[in-house]
C-alpha cells in the first residue's frame, strides 16, 4: 500500500512525525512525503524536520504565502500533478490548514481515499479559516481519525458513518512525550524566573490594529508583575511593525520579543512557564498535557476537552479579564487539570494499526456517506 502524506505548516510537522515512524515499521506500507511549502522560513519549517527526525520531503511544492485562494489554488495545481504521477493508494492530511483542504480536494476528485488525522474538531465559528478547512476536509475524507470523543460526536451529528470514524487520541502528544526529555530552554533573558509565555497569530487578534495594540498594552501592564516571553510569528511581526503604538518593544524591560523557537526550545518554554497566553490550537493541547495554566485569547475553541478536562481557560478578547486571570495565577489560584483519554504517546501506533487493516478501509468505502 502506497501512502502519501501532505504537510505544509508548522503545526502539521508534530503530527506527521509519529505517523511516519509507526508506518515505517510496517513492511506492507510504502510512504511518500509531500511538503507544500506553506511555511518556508528556516525557523518555521526546517528546524522542525531536524528536531522531530522527519525524513526529508520526497517532494516540495514550494507554494509559499498568498491570499487564501492563491495559496489553496497553487497547492491544488501542483499537488494534482504529483498525485497523478505518484498514484498513491491513500492520501493522509493533517489538521486544518490551507494545505490540508487543498490536498483533500485534489485527492477526492482523483478518487484517491483521504484519511484525515485530527478529524472532527469544530469551533462552530466560520469566521476562522481553519473551521472552513475542517468542515470541507471532513466531508471529503474516507477515514476520520479523531483526537478525542467530541470529534466522533461532531462527525456523527454531521451524518458521517461511524464506520469511517476511529478515535486514535492526540498524535501531537506522541511527539511531545517522545521529545520532552530533550527539551532545552533557549538562551533568552528572563527564562530563569517567573514568566508568561505568549504566542499570537490568529487574524482575530493580530489583523485588527486596535485589538493588537490593546493586547500589547495589556502585556506592558502584566510585565510589571511578571516577565513576558513572546516568540513572534512572522505574520504577527509584520502586523506589529505597521502598528502606530507608543511602546518601545525592542528595548522593553519586561517584554522579550524573540524569533519563533524550535520545537525543543518551545517545549521547554511551555514546561517552565508560570502561565501561557495564546491563540494557538496546538498550544492549548500541549499545556493541558504539561498541566500548565493556559489563557486562550479566543471566544471559542475547537478543542473543548482542553477546557473541560485540561488547564485551559477561554478569555475571549477581554483584556481586563486576561489581566485579572494572570494576577490570580501569580497569586497561586491555578486551574488544575487532567490528561485527556488516549493522549498517551501511542496514537501513531494506533493509526498504523488501522491503516494496515484492509477491512477498515473497505468498511469505510462501503458505508453510506453524508
Ligand atoms: C497557518 C495556518 C494556521 C496555523 C498556523 C501556524 C491556515 C489557514 N492557517 O497560519 O491554522 O495555526 O499556520 O503557524 O492555513 N510567513 C513567513 N514565513 C513563513 C510562513 C509565513 O514569513 O515561513 C508569513 C507570510 O507573510 C504569510 C504569513 O506569515 O503571509 C501568514 O502565513 P500563512 O501560512 O498564510 O498563515 P499562518 O498565519 O502561518
CA–CA separation, 129 vs 230, rounded Å?
24
What's the pLDDT band for 192 if we cut at 50, 70, 90?
Answer: confident
CA–CA separation, 235 vs 201, rounded Å?
7
Can you give the C-alpha Rg of the chain in angstroms?
20
Q: Is 369 in the pocket of ligand 1 (CB under 6 A)?
A: no
Q: What is the mean pLDDT of the chain?
A: 97
The number of the ligand 1 atom at minimal distance from the alpha carbon of 133 is: 8
Per-residue confidence (pLDDT) for residue 71, from 0 to 100: 98
**How far does the centroid of ligand 1 lie from the alpha carbon of residue 27, in Å?**
36
Q: Is 37 in the pocket of ligand 1 (CB under 6 A)?
A: no
**How far does the centroid of ligand 1 lie from the alpha carbon of residue 164, in Å?**
30
Q: What is the CATH number of domain 184-330?
A: 3.40.50.2000
The number of the ligand 1 atom at minimal distance from the alpha carbon of 95 is: 11
**How far does the centroid of ligand 1 lie from the alpha carbon of residue 38, in Å?**
7
Percent of the chain beyond pLDDT 70? 99
Question: Is residue 144 flagged as an active site residue?
Answer: no
pLDDT reading at 370 higher than 60 = no
The reply to whether domains 2-169+343-367 and 184-330 share a CATH topology is: yes
Transcribe 238-287 into DSSP letters: HHHHT---S--GGG-SSEEEEPPPPHHHHHHHHHH-SEEEE--HHHHHHH
Q: Of the listed 35, 116, 166, 201, which one is catalytic?
A: 201
User: What are phi and psi for residue 335, nearest 5 degrees?
Assistant: -75, 125
Nearest CA to ligand 1 atom 19: 39
Residue with cell 494545505: 99
Per-residue confidence (pLDDT) for residue 258, from 0 to 100: 96
What's the pLDDT band for 190 if we cut at 50, 70, 90?
Answer: confident
Find the mean pLDDT for residues 181-208. 95
pTM: 0.97
Neighbours of 347 (CB within 10 A): 28
Q: Is 235 in the pocket of ligand 1 (CB under 6 A)?
A: yes
Nearest CA to ligand 1 atom 21: 39
Nearest CA to ligand 1 atom 33: 65
Angle made by CA atoms 320, 281, 138, in degrees to the nearest 5: 135
SS3 (DSSP) at 68: helix
Nearest CA to ligand 1 atom 7: 97
Please list the alpha-helical segments (H only) found in the chain.
10-24, 46-52, 68-86, 98-109, 129-140, 149-157, 171-179, 203-206, 209-222, 234-241, 263-272, 281-290, 305-308, 319-330, 347-356, 358-366
Q: Is 209 in the pocket of ligand 1 (CB under 6 A)?
A: no
Find the mean pLDDT for residues 278-287. 98
**How far does the centroid of ligand 1 lie from the alpha carbon of residue 205, in Å?**
14
Residue with cell 511578571: 226
Nearest CA to ligand 1 atom 20: 39
Is 217 exposed, middle or buried (CB count within 10 Å of its CB: 0-12, 13-18, 19+)? middle
pLDDT reading at 369 higher than 70 = no
**How far does the centroid of ligand 1 lie from the alpha carbon of residue 117, in Å?**
20
**How far does the centroid of ligand 1 lie from the alpha carbon of residue 290, in Å?**
25
CA–CA separation, 264 vs 269, rounded Å?
9
Q: Is 11 in the pocket of ligand 1 (CB under 6 A)?
A: yes
pLDDT reading at 97 higher than 70 = yes
Output the nine-digit C-alpha cell for 123.
469551533
Q: Where do the structural domains in the chain lie, given as residue ranges? A: 2-169+343-367, 184-330
The number of the ligand 1 atom at minimal distance from the alpha carbon of 97 is: 15
CA–CA separation, 64 vs 267, rounded Å?
26
Q: What is the homologous superfamily of the domain 2-169+343-367 according to CATH?
A: Glycogen Phosphorylase B; (3.40.50.2000)
Amino acid at each position: 500500500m502506497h501512502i502519501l502524506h501532505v504537510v505544509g505548516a508548522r503545526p502539521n510537522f508534530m503530527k506527521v512525525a509519529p505517523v511516519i515512524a509507526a508506518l515505517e515499521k510496517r513492511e506492507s506500507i510504502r510512504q511518500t512525503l509531500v511538503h507544500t511549502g506553506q511555511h518556508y522560513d528556516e525557523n518555521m519549517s526546517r528546524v522542525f524536520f531536524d528536531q522531530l527526525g522527519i525524513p526529508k520531503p520526497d517532494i516540495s511544492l514550494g507554494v509559499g504565502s498568498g491570499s487564501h485562494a492563491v495559496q489553496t489554488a497553487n497547492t491544488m495545481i501542483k499537488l494534482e500533478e504529483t498525485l497523478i504521477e505518484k498514484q498513491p493508494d491513500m492520501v493522509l492530511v493533517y489538521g486544518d490548514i490551507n494545505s490540508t483542504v487543498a490536498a483533500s480536494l485534489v485527492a477526492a476528485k482523483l478518487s484517491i481515499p483521504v484519511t484525515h488525522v485530527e478529524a472532527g474538531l469544530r469551533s462552530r465559528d466560520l469566521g476562522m479559516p481553519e473551521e472552513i478547512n475542517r468542515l470541507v476536509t471532513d466531508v471529503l475524507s474516507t477515514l476520520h481519525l479523531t483526537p478525542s470523543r467530541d470529534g466522533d460526536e461532531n462527525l456523527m451529528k454531521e451524518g458521517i458513518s461511524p464506520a469511517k470514524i476511529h478515535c486514535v487520541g492526540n498524535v501531537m502528544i506522541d511527539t511531545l512525550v517522545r521529545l520532552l526529555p530533550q527539551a532545552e530552554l533557549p538562551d533568552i533573558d528572563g527564562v530563569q524566573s517567573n514568566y508568561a509565555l505568549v504566542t499570537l497569530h490568529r487574524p482575530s487578534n493580530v489583523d485588527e490594529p486596535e485589538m493588537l495594540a490593546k493586547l500589547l498594552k495589556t502585556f506592558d501592564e502584566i510585565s510589571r508583575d511578571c516577565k513576558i516571553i513572546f516568540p513572534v510569528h512572522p505574520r504577527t511581526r509584520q502586523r506589529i511593525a505597521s502598528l502606530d503604538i507608543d511602546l518601545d518593544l525592542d528595548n522593553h524591560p519586561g517584554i522579550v520579543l524573540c524569533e519563533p523557537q524550535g520545537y525543543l526550545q518551545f517545549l521547554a518554554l511551555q514546561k517552565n512557564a508560570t502561565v501561557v497566553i495564546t491563540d494557538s490550537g496546538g498550544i492549548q493541547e500541549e499545556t493541558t498535557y504539561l498541566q500548565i495554566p493556559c489563557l486562550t485569547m479566543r471566544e471559542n475553541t475547537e478543542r473543548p476537552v482542553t477546557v473541560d478536562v485540561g488547564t485551559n481557560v477561554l478569555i475571549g478578547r477581554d483584556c481586563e479579564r486576561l489581566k485579572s486571570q494572570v494576577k490570580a495565577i501569580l497569586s497561586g489560584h491555578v486551574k488544575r487539570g487532567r490528561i485527556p483519554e488516549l493522549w498517551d504517546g501511542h496514537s501513531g501506533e494506533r493509526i498504523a494499526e488501522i491503516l494496515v487493516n484492509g477491512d477498515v478501509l473497505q468498511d469505510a468505502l462501503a458505508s453510506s456517506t453524508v
